[in-house]
Structure 1
């Protein structure tokens, strides 16, 4: 709620900082009004509730809650955006997202009520009084590194937008479309990472190191093969995929080059995500913080600046690729050390 208030008060300088111009300001502000100024709370509460439900192993309910919002968003988008519907444009897309997140939150609230007495998940704020200092430290030890990583992701996106903006609206659109397509395999990798976290936590706490290793290796094999297949598809079908968003030869030309470079990092991305998921499952907040710092501060942001100087615009996607290659190597080394750790006492 505080974030919504701050973004509402300072939205004009914030949007300027994020790289909007006269062509994109109105559309961006219309979208932001619904998704951030009004919608930050349900957007974040939706994610928090999903994680809490998944932590007990209820992956089906977590998926249903999340997917209900996603599917509703898909249905509402054309109705709110297009001329034959409410013709609200970008603001309509924001309103659809806001309503979808509210529905997903409602699902989790109803689920918590129905399962009352058979679950440890509760939305009762009075239970906060029972938190001990150790519990708070454990939560912050994992949560703060994850928060820093997300904040640095925003900083990286801001730099990327600002470096792309001088090349015009077509380049901005192409980069935006490429980033959206990049998010599909990224979410697949994230799904595997989140999916094994409860099992890794339980097996680590019980001392069943062999099963923990089997779960991690199994997930690694599945996701690496999946990413290889997706990489081939993206490299071959990049122009058609960009055209599905906007049928402009200039945008397709930019976007195809961006997307093909980005796709080369999919295999490394999934390894990085799995490693961070294991760190979070084991409460290794320092390792997660190390990865967050290396990802943006040490690697991606300096590489964006450097590559933009020597290879303007087209060098930007390589920053992400190089970052993922380095982090995946670090992840493999650190996972091997975890496999050799002694059983917890």
Structure 2
């Protein structure tokens, strides 16, 4: 398969061709996240609170898996652009082995640590019990998640976006269908409650991973997984981790942020913890489509950078920013127009809905300006510049927002935490642009 189209076709049509399948996939994935939370919320508000408390650890596992897969993606794209097939195969093969090792280690550590983690945030025995029931099952599927995500990024690196879209959507649809059946006991399944939600998630991830393997066998891709190349080499591992580790940390930082904000908000009311959990479910519907554009952008940036097409790299960056801006603008309009309806998907409590409306209106003020940070961080990852990308993420999720949230909450109460979001996006957008320009000349 000749991939020279990555440096020959017009940028906007090419970027749309690469991004739209992933945007559609991410939208379906966002729908899954919302549907999953919708059904869990029907069990009880305690079940939804438990899910919110488990989310940071669940996100941590996904972050490590996705981050390392981004490293695999960037390295393969670079070597394909440089016409070095052997090194591209090595990156894929060694990346697969390391992804499986990461999954096993994370499964053991996270399942063992969940009881202590949950008790840090609540003394309610029912919430702790529900959290453990969900996490023990969901985390057991980490290796399937790791395989799914590794295949996803390899397929994207060689331009097979449609196949990646089909696999991701298959996993999400399986999950959406099984959720109500397993939670409430519909059809052949017994009512399993929150455990059913976790099992549906795991089966969805497994379905996607199996479909990737079938497509890889039936319709091979340019990059090959070779047993002979799976012996870990220091130079290749260093290259994978130099991009994968910063990307993993960038993706894991929201977990740290959510946990810290939960501590701040819990001092005021559990309602605010609930609202924060709902917000992060809703914002996936916005940021995941934006991430779909980033996923389409990354292999194009890496391939053209490896091929020495630096002017084309700059044009891809600017075009991607315009597309992400449009997505963020749409999200802002929705949060300002129907915040009550969005929060009402997860609760009928009028006090909670009122608190959620306030949160969405304030937080959405930072969506559009975050375009600069999202685009710059993704572009730097695509170019193999993991640590500059990490600087942007550290600012967005730790260095700026946590101090601002703490100070603002002392001045205006819980609502100050919501103001910290848009303040942080404004500050970080400036930092992001400077970091990008400094590292891409």
Q: How much has 1:70 moved relative to structure 2?
A: 0.9
State how far apart, in whole Å, the 2-side matches of 1:291 and 1:17 are: 29
Structure 1: where are the runs of 5+ without partners? none
Which of 104, 107, 110 pairs up with 2:208? 104
Per the alignment, residue 54 of structure 1 pairs with 156
Alpha-carbon deviations, 1:164-220, whole Å to 9, x = none? 234444333222112211111111111111111111111122222232222221121
Query: Which stretch of structure 1 is more off in the superposition, 21-30 or 135-144?
Result: 21-30
- Equivalence for 2:334: 233
Structure 1 residues 338 and 290: CA distance shift in structure 2, 3 A? closer
Shift of 1:257: 1.1
> 2:196 pairs with 83, 92, 100, which one?
92
Check the 8 A contact 1:76/1:96 in 2, yes or no. yes
Aligned-partner Cα distance in 2 for 1:331–1:173: 31
Contact 1:262 1:320 in 2 (8 A): yes
Cα 1:125–1:165 change in 2 (3 A) is: farther
How far residue 272 of structure 1 moved from its aligned partner, in angstroms, is 1.0
Structure 1 Cα separation of the partners of residues 241 and 121 of structure 2: 28
Root mean square deviation, CA, Å: 2.1
Instruction: Please list the CA deviations of residues 18-74 of structure 1 after superposition, one character each: whole Å capped at 9, or x if unmatched.
Output: 5573342222112111111x1222223222221111111111111111111111111
* Aligned-partner SS, 2:192: coil
Equivalent residue, structure 1, for 2:357:
256
When the two structures are superposed, what TM-score results if normalisation uses the length of structure 1? 0.90
Matched, 1:9 2:112: yes
Q: SS of the counterpart of 1:207?
A: coil
Aligned counterpart for 1:159 among listed residues 245, 260, 281:
260
Q: CA 1:297–1:179 in 2, change beyond 3 Å: closer, same or farther?
A: closer
Matched-pair contact (CA < 8 Å) for 2:377–2:390: no
> Quick one: distance in 2 between partners of 1:188 and 1:19?
33
2:142 to 31, 36, 40: 40
The 3-state SS of whatever aligns with 1:246 is coil
Between 187-196 and 266-275, the greater mean CA deviation after superposition: 266-275
Question: 1:337 deviation in Å?
Answer: 4.5
Contact 1:53 1:121 in 2 (8 A): no
Please name the residue that 1:138 is paired with.
239
CA distance in 1, matches of 2:181, 2:421: 35
Which piece of structure 1 moves more, 175-184 or 106-115? Answer: 106-115
The aligned residue for residue 73 of structure 2 is none
Aligned to 1:31: 134
DSSP 3-state at the match of 1:244:
coil
Contact 2:336 2:361 in 1 (8 A): yes
The reply on whether 1:149 has 2:250 as its aligned counterpart is: yes
Map 1:104-253 onto structure 2 (within 5 A): 104-116=208-220, 118-122=221-225, 124=226, 126-129=228-231, 132-253=233-354
Q: 1:120 to 1:2 in 2, by over 3 A?
A: same
Q: TM-score, normalised by structure 2?
A: 0.71
CA pair 273-135 structure 1, distance change in 2 beyond 3 A: same
2:166 aligned residue: 64
Listed one character per residue, the Cα deviations across residues 59-114 of structure 1 (whole Å, up to 9, x for unaligned) are 11111111111111111111112365633222111111011001111111222222
Check whether the contact 1:27–1:89 (CA below 8 A) recurs between aligned residues: no
Q: Is the 8 A contact 1:185 1:266 kept in 2?
A: no
8 Å CA contact retained: 1:190, 1:270 = no
Give distance in 2, aligned partners of 1:141 and 1:298.
22
Between 151-160 and 83-92, report the one with greater CA deviation: 83-92
After TM superposition, give the deviation of residue 336 of structure 1 in Å.
3.9
CA distance in 1, matches of 2:425, 2:294: 16
Q: Relative contact order (alpha carbons < 8 A, sep ≥ 6): 1 or 2 greater? A: 2
